[in-house]
Amino acid sequence: MQQHGSYDTLLLDLGGVLIDVDYLATAHAFGQLGFRDFDTLYSKAKQDHLFDGFEVGAITPAEFRDRLRKILGTALGDAQIDACWNAMLGHIPQERIALVERLKQRYQVLLLSNTNAIHVPAFEAIVARENGISDFKGLFHGAYYSCEIGLRKPDAQAFQYVLARHHADPRRTLFIDDSIQHVEGARTAGLNTEHLELAQEDIRAMVERLGLLD
């Protein structure tokens, strides 16, 4: 691991790192409607190809809902599906927003999130309502959603795309993510990496431990 003084760019994940996410909440929401095995289709570590396609924009929200109805064998309405799907989305504590603002004073701070076209307006609405931020992407020097760029972590191309847009050297970039497979992908792409193990610390504690703001 390099010393923090040799970094000029930080690349952050969104879910788990900045916004709280509870994947079981979505499984529970579908379970409340009678679909008990949703967690076998989707989890943080492994997910059905349907969800992967949705995350890179290859599947539209309408197609996603229709295919989910077919898989579940249900006639759930769009609003019901969206509510269950968005149930995993939590909050961004204001302290994490303040942390990003402080980090921006020292580093180029970028965001790369594996997400989809139903989640994006939902979490942006949460941030607007709870944190008073109407332009979430504006919080960063650059913010990228997999469903918009057609690339997703842990593929090396996703990291290369983002860094190239900001003339960032992977050797001087630190990537932070709570998913080990994404960390391994970034490492393969030549970035410095830190795996945020949420059971042990949050992003604020990691930044302090690494001395990124010393």
Same domain? For 50 and 119 the reply is no
Instruction: Identify whether residues 15 and 58 lie together within a single domain.
Output: no
pLDDT at 1: 44
- Indicate whether 82 and 97 sit together in one domain: no
CA gap 55, 158 in Å, rounded: 12
Same domain, yes or no: 42 and 115: no
Domain with residue 9: its CATH number is 3.40.50.1000
Q: Which residue has the tokens 């609405």?
A: 125
Helices 203-210/94-104 angle, 10° precision: 30
For residues 77 and 160, membership in a common domain is answered with no
User: Are residues 121 and 72 part of one domain?
Assistant: no
Q: Which residue is listed with tokens 């918009």?
A: 148
Number of structural domains found in the chain: 2
pLDDT of residue 38: 80
pLDDT at 185: 98
Q: Are 155 and 173 in contact (CB under 8 A)?
A: no
Which ranges in the chain belong to alpha helices (H)?
23-32, 49-55, 61-72, 78-86, 94-104, 119-131, 146-149, 156-165, 180-188, 203-210
State which of 52, 86, 120 marks the end of a domain.
86
Do residue 180 and residue 74 come from a single domain?
A: no
Supply the DSSP symbol for 170. G
Q: CB of 4 within 8 A of CB of 211?
A: yes
> Do residues 160 and 185 make contact, with C-beta atoms less than 8 angstroms apart?
no
Q: What confidence score (pLDDT) does residue 45 get?
A: 42
Examine the domain organization and report whether 96 and 188 are in the same domain.
yes
pLDDT (tens digit, 0 to 9) for every residue of the chain, 214 residues total?
455 568 999 999 999 999 999 989 999 999 998 887 787 776 544 455 788 899 999 999 999 999 888 888 888 999 999 999 999 999 999 999 999 999 999 999 999 999 999 999 999 999 999 999 999 999 999 999 999 999 999 999 999 999 999 999 999 999 999 999 999 999 999 999 999 999 999 999 999 999 999 8
pTM of the model: 0.92
Q: What is the pLDDT of residue 49?
A: 75
Q: Whole domain around residue 73: which residue ranges?
A: 23-86
Residues 39 and 140 in one domain: no
Give, rounded to a whole angstrom, the gap between the first and last alpha carbons of the chain.
17
